[in-house]
Structure 1
């Protein structure tokens, strides 16, 4: 059964969602988990204590938050499982609809990506 990653990106300065959204999401996630679609997920803390490792030209640099220049942040994630891509898209659409209904001032992007369960082919180089 295909697995998917759901990501939520939003403006970093929106504050906390209203209680109505938390309540609606509790019901929605409970239903999705009961049907075997929601495997794991959660919200993420802000960027104040985030740590990035930036890799460029064979070297890496550690960059600690907060990041004043960050306009958009990843606010949450979910590991999902559906029978088909179409079912997964429908589930992600319902998720977005809940945000539009219960937090209309929110500006966000709910992204759905299918997880690759195949190992990359080995190079003969």
Structure 2
């Protein structure tokens, strides 16, 4: 069964999502957890305490947050498993629709990527 990682990206500092979105997400995640689709996931704090290690030309440097140059940050993540890519894409659209309905004033980018289990191509 293919596994996927979902990301939610948005501008940093947009505030706390509305309570209605939290409630809709609780129901959405609960349904998927009980069916075995939702494996794990959660929200992320802002970049104020983030730490990046940058490897450039064999040298490592540490860059502590916050990152003023960041236009958008990952605000949440999930590990999901579906029977097919088509099912995963359709469900990711449903997830995006929750944000459009309950937090329309914020631009949110909902990304879905298949998790690699080896050197094969996605869908193999």
Shorter-chain TM-score tier? over 0.9
Looking at structure 2, the residues matched to 13 and 44 of structure 1 have their Cα atoms a distance apart, in angstroms, of 12
Q: Tell me, what secondary structure is at the counterpart of 1:63?
A: strand
Shift of 1:13: 2.5
Deviation string 1:30-84 (CA, Å, 9 cap, x unpaired) is: 0011111000000000010000001100111000011112110000000000000
Deviation string 1:14-34 (CA, Å, 9 cap, x unpaired) is: 111000000000000000111
Count, aligned residues: 120
After superposition, where does 1:44-63 map in structure 2 within 5 Å? 44-63=44-63
Looking at structure 2, the residues matched to 85 and 91 of structure 1 have their Cα atoms a distance apart, in angstroms, of 10
Q: Tell me, what secondary structure is at the counterpart of 1:96?
A: helix
Question: Higher Cα Rg: structure 1 or 2?
Answer: 1
What is the TM-score with the length of structure 1 in the denominator?
0.93
In structure 2, runs of 5+ residues without a counterpart are none
Q: Is the 8 A contact 2:13 2:46 kept in 1?
A: no
Q: Tell me, what secondary structure is at the counterpart of 1:45?
A: coil
1:90 paired residue number: 90
1:5 paired residue number: 5
Deviation string 1:97-123 (CA, Å, 9 cap, x unpaired) is: 000000011101100000011158xxx
1:123 paired residue number: none
What is the TM-score with the length of structure 2 in the denominator?
0.94
**Higher alpha-carbon deviation: 68-77 or 25-34:** 68-77
In structure 1, runs of 5+ residues without a counterpart are 121-125
Looking at structure 1, the residues matched to 12 and 71 of structure 2 have their Cα atoms a distance apart, in angstroms, of 6
RMSD: 1.1
Q: Tell me, what secondary structure is at the counterpart of 1:33?
A: helix
Looking at structure 1, the residues matched to 109 and 71 of structure 2 have their Cα atoms a distance apart, in angstroms, of 13
